[in-house]
């Protein structure tokens, strides 16, 4: 080589990056699908979920001969309460009723229940279960405009000890509610359609007083009290426009008011009514059919959690995590890729399990007596059912991510799975044993809050109903409960990412 010659440059071999997120996802997916035992764990989780759900449905039986509800001739054709004291006249077409209402006040007991109510009402007929629109003063919730048993509109604060003016106007099938503090200035509360009824309907004054119910549990024993109540209310300055001539005011005990007769005392233009009963949605039927059909999730989650833990701890146990971090130095991304893969896979498995559990268990529940009108006839395409089924898949995916994060933090399969059992499985057991207040605290603040996504029994604020936590009654909404579990998963995963960056493998 001469002095003027330049030695050839050695070409450097470029290392292909392996820590781009798509590449990490592909690598983690390859790990998951190539380990046969992990695939078998997913299959076992699906099988356990379906089988336990089927067993739960088979064990939940009612009196089949009863048909799951009252006969049409015996009462309402749906689950409602419609028994109250009604003083009425006939309104043949358009018109209105106005009254000044004082009450309701308690007769038995001395304090009226919070949802005792007194006011003016337009009803399709005096038959129990017929449609209605009513404007009322309640003992504990102010003025309310209610219709068709389930609709409830707040009309402002009001004390039952002071008089309030109420008015309903009827225009065809439309009933509009107005309230006033002095009988001169009126404010509109809302409107409702009274079915398709444009003919003669009864209109008048009413009072209702639901039972007072309490529930307590000590040392696993549940005590429930259901005591009848009776309330009174005074009506004056009653004005009825458009009423038919002939018969005057009549008193009807719609639905017989729990077997008690109402009372009407009239002095000039003042009416004093006393009665019991209620006009509202019926108490929620137990059990929640959809939650029962998905009950196997509570055991299937153990296998899902085990998969989430093993997906990270297996690499720590065998020392393969060091190789993973050499190839992909961005450790946080590695853990996030693992979370994405295990979350997606367990969501898919959970969706298969929840759909199969619902489709297999629901016919069994119906065969065991859970039929309309007491229980809804759910199908997979119903909104609440879709939310529960998809939410169950999301629930299992979040549990898998939480388990993965715990595995990354503890780096021990036994310790991580034990922690999952303590924070999720143990509270599910304790809610059926602890005092109700403490059980609801567990349901609200621990990861088991996520199971609220399975609840489909409709609940109404205007009905004071009792339900045991173990029957699937959660104190918060479905999405709030799932968000609580998601918050646990995100926070623990964030801590795991921070720790895995700071500490050697």
Q: Is residue 326 located within the same domain as residue 435?
A: yes
Q: Is residue 137 located within the same domain as residue 247?
A: yes
Confidence of residue 433 (pLDDT cuts 50, 70, 90): confident
Please give the residue that has the higher pLDDT: either 343 or 462. 343
Q: Is residue 250 located within the same domain as residue 341?
A: no
Q: Is residue 261 part of a domain?
A: yes
Q: Is residue 171 located within the same domain as residue 138?
A: yes
Q: Is residue 16 part of a domain?
A: no
Q: Is residue 417 part of a domain?
A: yes
Q: Is residue 173 part of a domain?
A: yes
For 76, 381, 429, the CA distances from 318, given in Å and listed in that order, are 66, 46, 35
pLDDT value at residue 8: 47
Mean pLDDT, the chain, whole residue set: 87
How far apart CA 167 and CA 190 sit, in angstroms, is 11
Q: What is the CATH number of the domain that holds 140?
A: 2.60.120.560
Residues constituting the chain: 505
pLDDT value at residue 66: 40
| Mean pLDDT of all residues in 147-165 | 91
In DSSP notation, 166-209 reads: EEEEEETTEEEEEEESSSSS-EEEEEEE-TT--S-EEEEEEEEB
Q: Is residue 231 located within the same domain as residue 350?
A: no
Take residue 366 and report the two structure tokens written for it. 């119906």
Three-state secondary structure of 209-259: ECCEEEEEEECCEEEEEEECCEEEEEEEEEEEECCCCCCCCEEEEEHHHHH
Is the overall model pTM greater than 0.75, yes or no? yes
Q: Which of 230, 247, 281 is the last residue of a domain?
A: 281
* DSSP one-letter code for 277: B
* pLDDT at position 167 over 90: yes
**C-beta separation of 390 from 424 below 8 A:** no
Q: Which of 219, 247, 281 is the last residue of a domain?
A: 281
| Mean pLDDT of all residues in 431-456 | 91
Interval 314-330: pLDDT, tens = 999 888 888 888 888 88
* pLDDT at position 365 over 90: yes
* pLDDT at position 184 over 70: yes
Confidence of residue 472 (pLDDT cuts 50, 70, 90): confident
**Secondary structure of residue 82 in the 3-state scheme:** strand
Q: Is residue 72 part of a domain?
A: no
**C-beta separation of 320 from 16 below 8 A:** no
What is the domain range of residue 139?
Answer: 80-281
| Mean pLDDT of all residues in 6-20 | 47
Q: Is residue 2 part of a domain?
A: no
Please give the residue that has the higher pLDDT: either 248 or 397. 397
Question: Dihedrals φ, ψ of 467, to 5°?
Answer: -155, 135
* pLDDT at position 219 over 70: no
> By mean pLDDT, which of 308-312, 375-379, 421-425 is the weakest?
375-379
| Mean pLDDT of all residues in 11-40 | 78
How far apart CA 195 and CA 193 sit, in angstroms, is 6
pLDDT value at residue 60: 82
Contacts of 471 (CB under 8 A, 6+ apart): 286, 287, 288
How far apart CA 104 and CA 107 sit, in angstroms, is 9
Q: Is residue 237 located within the same domain as residue 304?
A: no
Contacts of 377 (CB under 8 A, 6+ apart): 366, 371
Q: Which of 252, 281, 310 is the last residue of a domain?
A: 281
Q: Is residue 250 located within the same domain as residue 304?
A: no
pLDDT value at residue 4: 47
Q: Is residue 230 located within the same domain as residue 305?
A: no
* pLDDT at position 187 over 70: yes
* pLDDT at position 67 over 60: no
Q: Is residue 374 part of a domain?
A: yes
Q: Is residue 453 located within the same domain as residue 364?
A: yes
Q: Is residue 14 part of a domain?
A: no
pLDDT value at residue 322: 83
Q: How many domains would you assign to the chain?
A: 2
* pLDDT at position 133 over 90: yes
Give residue for tokens 């209105």.
Answer: 96
pLDDT value at residue 18: 53
Give the number of other Cβ atoms within 10 Å of residue 157's Cβ.
8
């Amino acid at each position: 080589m001469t002095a003027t010659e330049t030695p050839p440059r050695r070409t450097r071999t470029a290392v292909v990056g392996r820590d781009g997120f798509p590449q990490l996802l592909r690598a983690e997916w390859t790990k998951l699908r190539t380990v046969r035992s992990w695939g078998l764990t997913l299959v076992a989780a699906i099988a356990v979920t379906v089988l336990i759900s089927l067993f739960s449905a088979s064990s939940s039986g009612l009196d089949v001969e009863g048909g799951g509800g009252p006969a049409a001739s015996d009462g309402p054709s749906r689950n409602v309460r419609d028994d109250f004291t009604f003083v009425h006249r006939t309104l043949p077409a358009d018109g209105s009723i106005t009254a000044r209402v004082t009450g309701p006040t308690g007769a038995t007991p001395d304090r009226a229940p919070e949802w005792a109510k007194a006011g003016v009402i337009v009803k399709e007929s005096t038959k129990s279960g017929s449609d209605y629109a009513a404007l009322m003063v309640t003992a504990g919730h102010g003025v309310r405009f209610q219709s068709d048993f389930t609709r409830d509109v707040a009309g402002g604060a009001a004390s039952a000890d002071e008089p309030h003016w109420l008015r309903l106007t009827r225009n065809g099938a439309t009933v509009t509610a107005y309230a006033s503090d002095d009988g001169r200035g009126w404010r509109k509360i809302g409107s409702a359609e009274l079915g398709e009824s444009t003919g003669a309907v009864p209109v008048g004054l009413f009072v209702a007083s639901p039972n007072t119910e309490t529930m307590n549990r000590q040392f696993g024993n549940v005590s429930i009290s259901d005591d009848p109540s009776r309330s009174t209310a005074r009506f004056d300055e009653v004005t009825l426009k458009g009423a038919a001539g002939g018969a005057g005011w009549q008193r009807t005990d719609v639905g017989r008011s729990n077997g008690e007769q109402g009372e009407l005392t009239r002095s000039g233009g003042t009416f004093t009514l006393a009665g019991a009963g209620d006009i509202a949605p019926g108490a929620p039927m137990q059990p929640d059919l959809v939650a029962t059909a998905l009950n196997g999730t509570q055991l299937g989650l153990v296998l899902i959690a085990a998969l989430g833990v093993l997906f990270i701890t297996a690499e720590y146990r065998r020392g393969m995590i060091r190789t993973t971090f050499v190839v992909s130095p961005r450790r946080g991304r590695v853990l996030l890729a693992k979370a994405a893969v295990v979350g997606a896979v367990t969501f898919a498995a959970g969706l298969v399990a929840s759909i199969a559990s619902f489709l297999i268990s629901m016919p069994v529940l119906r065969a065991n007596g859970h039929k309309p009108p007491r229980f809804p006839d759910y199908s997979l395409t119903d909104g609440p059912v879709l939310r529960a089924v998809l939410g169950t898949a999301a629930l299992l995916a979040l549990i898998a991510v939480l388990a993965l994060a715990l595995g990354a933090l503890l780096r021990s399969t036994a310790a991580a799975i034990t922690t999952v059992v303590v924070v999720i499985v143990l509270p599910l057991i304790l809610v059926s044993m602890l005092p109700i207040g403490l059980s609801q605290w567990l349901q609200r603040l621990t990861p088991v809050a996520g199971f609220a996504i399975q609840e489909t029994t409709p609940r109404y604020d205007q009905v004071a109903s009792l339900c045991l936590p173990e029957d699937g009654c959660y104190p918060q909404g479905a999405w709030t409960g799932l968000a609580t579990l998601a918050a646990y998963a995100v926070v623990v995963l964030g801590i795991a990412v921070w720790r895995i960056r700071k500490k050697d493998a």
